[in-house]
Amino acid sequence: MKLKTLSLLMAAGLASFAGHTAVTDAMLANDAKTTGDVLSWGIGTEGQRFSPLKTINTKNVGKLVPAWSFSFGGEKQRGQESQPLVHNGKMFVTGSYSRIYALDVKTGKKLWKYEHRLPEGIMPCCDVINRGAALYDNLVIFATLDAQLVALNQETGEVVWKEKIDDYAAGYSASAAPLIAEGLLLTGVSGGEFGIVGRVEARNPKTGDLVWVRPTVEGHMGYTYDKDGNKKENGISGTRNATWTGDLWKTGGAATWLGGTYDAKTGLAYFGTGNPAPWNSHTRKGDNLFSSATVAIDVKTGQIKWHYQTTPHDGWDFDGVNEFVTFDLNGKRMGAKADRNGFFYVLDATNGKLENAFPFVKKITWAKGIDLKTGRPIENPESRPGDPAAGDGKKGKTVFSAPSFLGGKNQMPMAYSPNTGLFYVPANEWGMDIWNEPIGYKKGAAFLGAGFTIKTVFDDYIGAMRAVDPKTGKIVWEVKNNAPLWGGVLTTAGDLVFWGTPEGYLQAADAKTGKILWKFQTGSGVVAPPVTWEDKGEQYVAVVSGWGGAVPLWGGEVAKKVNFLEQGGSVWVFKLVK
């Protein structure tokens, strides 16, 4: 073969390769270190949301300007909680109402969009949000509000496979970004307010076929599936009726609605679980495992390796779904979680042993602290809403409880910087009046047995971005925010922390001091986590803007701090001005 022909062939081969760079397990395992792409929710499956990039840093971040912005369009302008992914010259970003877009990452030009056809009767508890997609091979995969998974061709937006997770009419939905670990697609379910059964499912990401299912309510059978879809029992989760009385485990909640993280060093996937159902705790004696907990699942076997319950016998809807972020501390692999119940936990990531726990919010009434020996909370019994049966049978004693069920932290993911050794936690200070009522399970109906009013605690702020030292429990700095914070965090080797506010700002602070160095008004509230990447020596930062989520739906007296905010739906990309 002549040299000229060979080089032409090679050029052609390289071009087609550049057009179809398949996302591999190795690429996903390295995602936190590779700065040219963002392949996973969490910027690495460990969820640290730390970028080694420092082209943008404390000295020049003031020169950040918009590169482009893209509108999700339509009339569906609300509740944008999505984290964009960047790969192969494209940005993949999901929008409210189960929509996904592929954009030219350089220009913001729309390449394709997919709008999932949603049935009338979907039952999302907390707005029509979606938190992002997963990339695998040539696919982009996301979950929908009618509890399906959809995998699309990254190039064309064509549907390659679609699988139903469960029955939306029974209250199931799905909004978390799927997690890819060890070549498996790991997803959870939403619907804890409807008495669904929480679980983690593993699928073949190329086909959508189930590989294993692990329920997160104690007493349910787990299964593995062979190539033909035949299922085989894989052991009950825990022991039936050990922490649940009667048949209550059949409608026990523990929804895995925020998805999970994965650490290759432990081989474990960490999923947080939501409230036990119903909210009225007097109807269900016991700890109600594995609700309001972190469960660590061996990805290869689909078995729960360990669990740590942050709120045993939860009576406040303190969903323990918050992300479990793994990191190195004192030569050990640890995991940290800022729980909705107001406490920050540091656990040994290999075995779930509690190493440290301390408050990250100022007002906590439900527990006096966490006993580091037993790992259990020292509960304040007066802060548990009363049993309706102890009074007139219709309504139990109302109590004031802090945090409110909207949590010391909710869905907005924190970030960890190995450079500063600090976690950056978007915290909120608020409480609630809460009471219990009698309740029975009815398919597709709210299964709460509780009423509530959210209350402010301090006049001048609800939100507070806090830099938390996991060794000492000290809050090193904080930046207060009038409205509750509801967006996630990004930190970088440029010693920056980026986060958005409901008031519409994306802002950057010095990671060591909390001094605000830059902010930009995006035109609607930011309730999503920012990301960063580089291309040809230029560093970019992106965030989705669009007010919504649980606060405007359930915020009670907080409304006065947020009711003037406008809804939206767009993604913004920034770079340094030349």
Do residues 149 and 188 make contact, with C-beta atoms less than 8 angstroms apart?
Answer: no
SS3 438: coil
64/377 Cα distance (integer angstroms): 45
Residue 300 phi, psi dihedral angles, 5° rounding:
-70, -35
State the catalytic residue, choosing from 137, 166, 317, 319.
317
Q: Which is nearer to Ca ion, 354 or 450 (CB)?
A: 450
Q: In what order do the strands lie in the sheet with 450-456?
A: 399-401, 430-436, 450-456
Return residues touching Ca ion (CB under 5 A). Answer: 31, 34, 37, 192, 274-275, 317, 319
Shortest CB 314 distance to Ca ion, Å: 9
Tell me the pairing of strands 489-492 and 50-51. parallel
Shortest CB 14 distance to Ca ion, Å: 22
Shortest CB 373 distance to Ca ion, Å: 29
Q: In what order do the strands lie in the sheet with 50-51?
A: 50-51, 489-492, 496-500, 505-510, 516-521
Q: Which is nearer to Ca ion, 118 or 125 (CB)?
A: 125
Beta strands in 40-109 (DSSP E): 50-51, 64-71, 85-87, 90-95, 99-104
Q: Which is nearer to Ca ion, 31 or 81 (CB)?
A: 31
Q: Which is nearer to Ca ion, 321 or 508 (CB)?
A: 321
Closest CA to 125 of 94, 82, 171: 171
422/510 Cα distance (integer angstroms): 12
Comparing every residue's Cβ against Ca ion, the nearest one is 34
Shortest CB 202 distance to Ca ion, Å: 23
What count of residues does the chain have?
578
Q: Which is nearer to Ca ion, 276 or 396 (CB)?
A: 276
Shortest CB 460 distance to Ca ion, Å: 28
Known catalytic membership, residue 348 = no
Q: Which is nearer to Ca ion, 46 or 319 (CB)?
A: 319
Structure tokens at 501: 């506010």
Beta strands in 165-238 (DSSP E): 179-181, 184-187, 199-203, 210-215, 221-225, 231-236
460 class by beta-carbon count within 10 Å (0-12 exposed, 13-18 middle, 19+ buried):
exposed
Shortest CB 506 distance to Ca ion, Å: 21
Q: What sign results for the dihedral spanned by CA atoms 455, 460, 464, 467?
A: negative
Instruction: Name the residues annotated as catalytic.
Output: 317
